[in-house]
C-alpha cells in the first residue's frame, strides 16, 4: 500500500485504561502490536494512558496543566511519529519501546475520590 510518498503507512493506536495504572492499556497495545507483526501489518506503536476516568474531566483544562500535560506530550510524540512516517521507537528521547506511556496525573490514593467528584458534577 502506497501512502503517496513511497512509504507504507504504519498503524498507530491509543489505549486508555479506566483504572489508575496503565497496565491494561499497555497489555492491549502489546497484544495489538504482536497481532500486527504476525499479520504483516506495519506497526508504528502507540500510547498507553492511565487514569482514563479523568480524561474527559480534564478536557477543558489547560493543555499543559497538571492534569493534561503527560497526555498532551504523549499525543505530540505520536503526531511527530505519524508526520515522520516512523515508528514511535525511532523518536528522539524515546527508549527502544514502541509504546509511549502516559501515566495517571494524580497519585493513586487521590484517584478514586477525584473520579467520584467528577461523576457527581456530571449528574
Whole-model pTM?
A: 0.81
11-16 β-sheet, strand order: 11-16, 43-49, 99-102
What is the pLDDT at residue 5?
52
Burial environment of residue 37 by CB neighbours within 10 A (0 to 12, 13 to 18, 19 or more): exposed
What is the pLDDT at residue 6?
56
Ordered by start, the domain boundaries in the chain are 11-122
Mean pLDDT computed over 75-87: 90
Of the candidates 12, 107, 119, 5, the residue with the CA atom closest to the CA atom of residue 51: 107
What is the pLDDT at residue 8?
77
Torsion of CA 28, 71, 58, 30, to 10 degrees: 0
Amino acid at each position: 500500500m502506497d501512502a503517496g510518498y513511497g512509504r507504507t503507512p504504519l498503524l498507530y493506536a491509543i489505549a486508555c485504561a479506566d483504572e489508575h495504572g496503565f497496565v491494561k492499556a499497555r497489555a492491549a497495545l502489546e497484544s495489538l502490536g504482536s497481532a500486527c507483526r504476525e499479520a504483516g501489518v506495519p506497526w508504528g506503536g502507540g500510547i498507553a494512558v492511565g487514569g482514563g476516568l479523568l480524561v474527559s474531566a480534564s478536557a477543558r483544562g489547560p493543555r499543559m496543566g497538571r492534569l493534561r500535560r503527560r497526555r498532551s506530550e504523549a499525543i505530540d510524540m505520536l503526531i511527530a511519529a505519524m508526520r515522520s512516517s516512523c515508528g514511535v521507537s525511532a523518536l528522539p528521547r524515546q527508549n527502544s519501546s514502541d509504546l509511549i506511556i502516559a501515566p495517571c496525573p494524580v497519585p493513586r490514593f487521590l484517584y478514586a475520590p477525584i473520579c467520584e467528584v467528577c461523576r457527581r458534577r456530571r449528574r
